[in-house]
A and B are shown apart, each in its own frame.
Chain A
Amino acid sequence: MSSASASFAGPPAIATEHLTRRFGDLTAVQDVNLRVAPGQFFGFLGPNGAGKSTTIKMLTGLLAPSSGRMQILGSDFTENPVEVKRQIGVVPEGMALFGRLTGSEYLNFVGRMYGLDRFTAAKRSAELLEFMQLTDQPKSLVTDYSHGMQKKLALAAAVIHGPKVLFLDEPFEGVDAVASNTLKAMLQSMIARGATIFLTSHVLEIVERLCSHVAIIHRGQLVAQGSLEELRAGVEAQSATALLASGVTSGDLPPSGEKLTLEQIFLRIVGGTRRVDQELSWLG
């Protein structure tokens, strides 16, 4: 199932054409055509091993595509990698932290690598540490941070240069509820200022609450893309068609009073109901 995304003027924030990545005989991502408009909070979903991380790695320059094209803010990634990288911020799967620096040193380093002068980098580092509530252990090395603290630091590093497009791979994983709320507020304020956010998460409630648009990848192929309403309407229409095909008349169709949640949409699209056929009898 696929639906057209909303029309917008100017180049899309993210656009891919037939993006494909093969690992030997395995095609991890096949012919993915994504379009993310500027200012969208875009959720990229899929079951484990569907190709989410592979796609995000290609979009951020960590992995070369086997074929296809990618454009970020109208610039071809392969032709202008440095220019594109200046415009984007990334929290990758491994967080890309330098464990033997302190949080402040790390942010300073990242800021300067993105071209900020050393005073601006230092000022923003201090502000971000304060915002992320990472100031109570100023001399601790990043390697000694908890997982949640590392996530917050990685997110701080991703935004220090004020990127126009932000790629977040599971940004809320391991982050406590308080910090999670702070992060969500920060991301929403970035959207309000015109940034685009491309996010993957397994927590569908978060995606449903934050994202205006969603794409679902399954077994390497994009199976749905559009606004939440478009996806919902598509799934409901598909269910109705299936019922009609099974002999139910249109008058007997159930009333669509209750909105499908993103989880329900997701499960229907990827066929996510699985029976436990075999009991693991040795489990306590």
Chain B
Amino acid sequence: MARLDSSSATHEQFAAIGRVRWQLFVNSLRTVRGRLELVARVFMFLGFGMLGLGGSIGLGLAAWYFASHHRPDFLALLFWPVFLFWQFFPVLASAFSENIDSSHLLRFPLTFRSYFLVRLAFGSLEPATAIGILWSLGIVMGITAAAPRLFFVAALALLAFAVLNILLARMVFVWVERWLAQRRTRELLGVIFFLFIVSFQLINPLILRFGKGAGSVVTHFSAQALPLQRFLPPGLAADSIASAIRSDFLRSFGGVLLQFFYAVIILWLLNLRLRAQYLGENLSEAVARTAQPAGHGSVEHPGWNIPGVPGPIAAVVEKEFHYLSRSGPMLFTFVMPVVILVIFRFGSARTGDPGGILARAADLAFPVGAAYTLLMLTNLVYNTFGGDAVGVQFFFLSPVRFRGVLLGKNLAHSLVIAIEVFLVWLGTCFLYRPPSAEIVAATLTGVVFGLIVNLAAGNLLSLYTPKKIDYGTFGRQRASGTTAVASLGIQAVTIGLCALALIAARASGRIWAATLVFVFLIILAAVAYILVLNQVDSVALKRREALIAELSRA
């Protein structure tokens, strides 16, 4: 009997996983959709390649400047954006990240070490890692160009920085996924987030209360925070190189060692989580069986009644809300527009400017938040059957036309956007100042325009390029590559148009003109939406086999 030893077996398993992924890719090219996916991926590769190379050159030049002009302390300014991008991009743009589900590998005799490495290796195959590494290389080259003797130190510091980032991104993913998987931990996260938001509200009253002294409060805070950042990964990496420039090699290597120490701690936390998964952890929300007397088992809960909406469409709306409310990742997406406002507002705490990043345009806080709300639509409407998975069969079996099903889904998603926009408005009032009636009118009409365009395009792309998704898992790809590229283009055009109209109207002092433009665009978009809606039944019939096959696959 031919059996392999442990290391050979691990090697064979890795090779087998690699081969099967390659074979899946090759097989996918047999279909038109698969070839379209390849084209989309080439575009994505070019886009990310340009971002990576452009950023790398820019960061390299900046690093060279700081290193050669005796401003090593400014290096931290380069490392922080790299760090934030590396950690946040996969969360914000999950449509572009394809993280394979490795849980099914557990049925094979995989050692924990192999499982860990597979999760780490295949999980890290995403644009953020590639771009982060490119940018780090740019910094190394910039510093080496300024001072060749620093190559070794810079390479070591950046290596530690890259390892730490890769591990941290994986660790954050698996832990957030775990917290979002169950209601209790999800609620706890919600409370923490709420407290986080509320804590920011204290900054403004503090500034107002202390009046002119507020500047010193903020300066004091900044003065305290600045040394603190040196102990965080980007600060540590920057400080290691800055110390080497000052020939303080002991401190330099200390910084590198501290980064590796952090990496070990992160590795341990990642190990904890992955081991639990390896041991067959079940994070389902199944509740314990309850003994119930016969005849008293189930309670009748009539479904939602939405005035003026036919029963089947109301049923689809209700079903969509149940799905969204049970999806940790989707709930996470929903809080992001408010987070963006907080982040913009946070700028004020560092600069002492009560307007934050939007200091000179606080009236734009509402439109900016609302525009970000529209970005949420990418996850909601462009792959609207993705979460239904095998349930999509039911829509073909039921006596409801696809037009009705999509109307229900569109209505549900429009309600979500309406609620989000209201929250953004509340956040704007709370964090900045209540927007003027003119700005509100322009923003709302702009949102309606963007919403209708996205719904129309989303309905078609949902039928043409579906992708099965799991609403319960975090950070997995939420749409096919084709959809991701197409939705990005549509979002760029709609939001770009809105921004252009609003900025031009604002500059001319006639914001109402933007509202007029948006009303005109709404009419055009509505016509397009109706045309698409009239076609969805025939498109769905034509696409039913591909749709069912794609969404029903294991």
Chain A residues packing against B (C-beta within 8 Å): 60-64, 82-83, 85-86, 90, 92, 94-101, 104-105, 108-110, 112-119, 121-123, 125-126, 129-130, 135-141, 143-144, 282
Contact A85 B471 (CB under 8 A): no
Q: Which of B377-395 contact A (CB under 8 A)?
A: 387-394
B5 at the interface (CB under 8 A from A): no
A139→B301 CA distance, assembly (Å): 13
A260 to chain B, nearest CB (A): 36
Contact of A118 with B298 at beta-carbon distance under 8 Å, contacts A96-B394, A113-B315 already known: no
Partner of B298, one of A83, A86, A125, A143: A125
**Are A136 and B545 CB-contacts (below 8 A) given A104-B301, A130-B297, A141-B285?**
no
Instruction: Name B303's contact: one of A100, A112, A136 (CB within 8 Å).
Output: A112
Complex contact A109–B297 (CB within 8 A): no
Give the number of residue pairs across the A-B interface with Cβ within 8 Å: 145
CA distance A115 to B302 in the complex (A): 14
| Chain A residues whose C-beta falls within 8 Å of the C-beta of B291 in the assembled complex | 136
Q: Are B298 and A126 in contact (CB under 8 A)?
A: yes
Closest B residue by C-beta to A116? B311
- Which listed residue (A86, A92, A100, A125) contacts B323, Cβ 8 A? A100
Residues of B with C-beta under 8 A to A62: 393, 396-397, 544, 548
B472 touches A100 (CB 8 A): yes
Tell me the bound Cα distance from A123 to B289 in angstroms.
22
B399/A114 in contact, CB under 8 A = yes
Judge whether B285 and A94 touch: CB under 8 Å.
no
Chain B residue total in the interface (Cβ 8 A): 52
Q: Which residue of B lies closest to A129 (CB)?
A: B298
Given known A-B contacts A82-B399, A137-B287, A96 and B393 have beta carbons under 8 A apart? yes
Q: Which 6 A-B pairs have the closest CB atoms?
A: A135-B297, A112-B315, A96-B393, A144-B286, A85-B399, A98-B391
- Give 10 new A-B contacts, CB below 8 A, not counting A61-B397, A98-B319, A98-B394: A92-B393, A96-B392, A98-B388, A98-B391, A100-B323, A101-B322, A101-B323, A114-B398, A123-B300, A138-B298
Let me know if B437 is at the binding interface, CB within 8 A: no
Q: What residues of chain A lie closer than 8 Å to B1, measured between beta carbons?
A: 282
The answer to whether A121 and B394 touch (CB under 8 A), given A104-B298, A136-B290, is no
For B285, give the chain A residue with the smallest CB separation.
Answer: A141
B390 touches A85 (CB 8 A): no
Assess the A108–B303 pair: CB atoms within 8 A. Answer: yes
Whether B397 contacts A63 by the Cβ 8 Å rule is no
User: Can you report 24 A-B residue pairs in the complex whose CB atoms are below 8 A from each other?
Assistant: A63-B545, A82-B399, A83-B399, A85-B397, A85-B399, A86-B399, A98-B323, A104-B298, A104-B301, A105-B318, A109-B303, A109-B315, A113-B398, A117-B311, A118-B303, A118-B304, A122-B303, A126-B299, A126-B300, A130-B297, A130-B298, A137-B286, A137-B289, A141-B284
Using Cβ atoms and an 8 Å threshold, which residues of chain A touch B322? Answer: 100-101, 105
Are the C-beta atoms of A105 and B319 separated by less than 8 Å? yes
With A118-B303, A139-B287 as contacts: A97 and B298 at CB distance below 8 Å: no
**Alpha-carbon separation in the docked complex, A99 to B468 (Å):** 13
Q: Which residues of B contact A100 (CB under 8 A)?
A: 322-323, 326-327, 387, 471-472
Q: Known: A83-B399, A114-B398, A282-B1. Is A108-B289 also a contact (CB below 8 A)?
A: no
Residue of B nearest to A123 (CB): B300
> For residue A125, which residues in chain B have a CB less than 8 angstroms away from its CB?
298, 300
Residues of B within 8 A of A126 (CB): 297-300
Please report the C-alpha to C-alpha distance between residue A119 and residue B303 in the assembled complex, in whole angstroms. 8
Interfacial chain A residues near B389, Cβ < 8 Å: 99
In whole Å, how far is B190's beta carbon from the nearest beta carbon of chain A? 19
- Residues of chain B lying within 8 A (CB to CB) of residue A115: 311-312, 399
In this assembly, does B230 line the interface, its C-beta being within 8 Å of a C-beta of chain A?
no
Contact residue among B286, B312, B388, B394 (Cβ-Cβ distance under 8 Å from A112): B312
Contact of B396 among A61, A97, A129, A141 (CB under 8 A): A61
- Given A62-B393, A95-B390, A139-B287 in contact, is the A118-B323 Cβ separation under 8 Å? no
Say whether B295 faces chain A, with CB atoms less than 8 Å apart: yes
> How many Å from the CB of A228 to the closest CB on chain B?
29
Are A99 and B302 interface neighbours, CB within 8 A?
Answer: no
Determine the distance from Cα of A129 to Cα of B295 in the docked complex, in whole angstroms: 10
- Output the nearest chain A residue to B289 by Cβ-Cβ distance: A136
B393 touches A109 (CB 8 A): no
B147 contacts the other chain (CB 8 A) = no
Question: Who on chain B is nearest to A154 by CB?
Answer: B394
Q: Which residues of the other chain, B, contact A97 by a CB distance below 8 angstroms? A: 390-391, 394
A130 to B296, CA, bound (A): 8
**B533-554 contacts to A (CB < 8 Å):** 541, 544-545, 548, 552
In this complex, what residue of B is CB-closest to A98?
Answer: B391
Contact flag A122-B302 (CB < 8 Å), given A136-B297, A141-B285: yes
Known A100-B327, A115-B399: A122·B387 in contact at CB below 8 Å: no
A84 CB to nearest chain B CB (Å): 8
Docked-complex contact A64 and B544, CB < 8 angstroms: yes
| Distance in angstroms between the alpha carbons of A108 and B304 in the assembled complex | 10
What chain B residues lie within 8 Å of A99 (beta carbons)?
389, 391
Please state if B300 and A109 are interface contacts (CB–CB under 8 Å).
no
Q: Is the CB of B286 within 8 A of A140?
A: yes
Instruction: Kindly state whether residue B8 has any CB partner on chain A within 8 Å.
Output: no
Given A85-B399, A136-B292, decide whether A141 and B297 contact each other with a Cβ distance below 8 A.
Answer: no
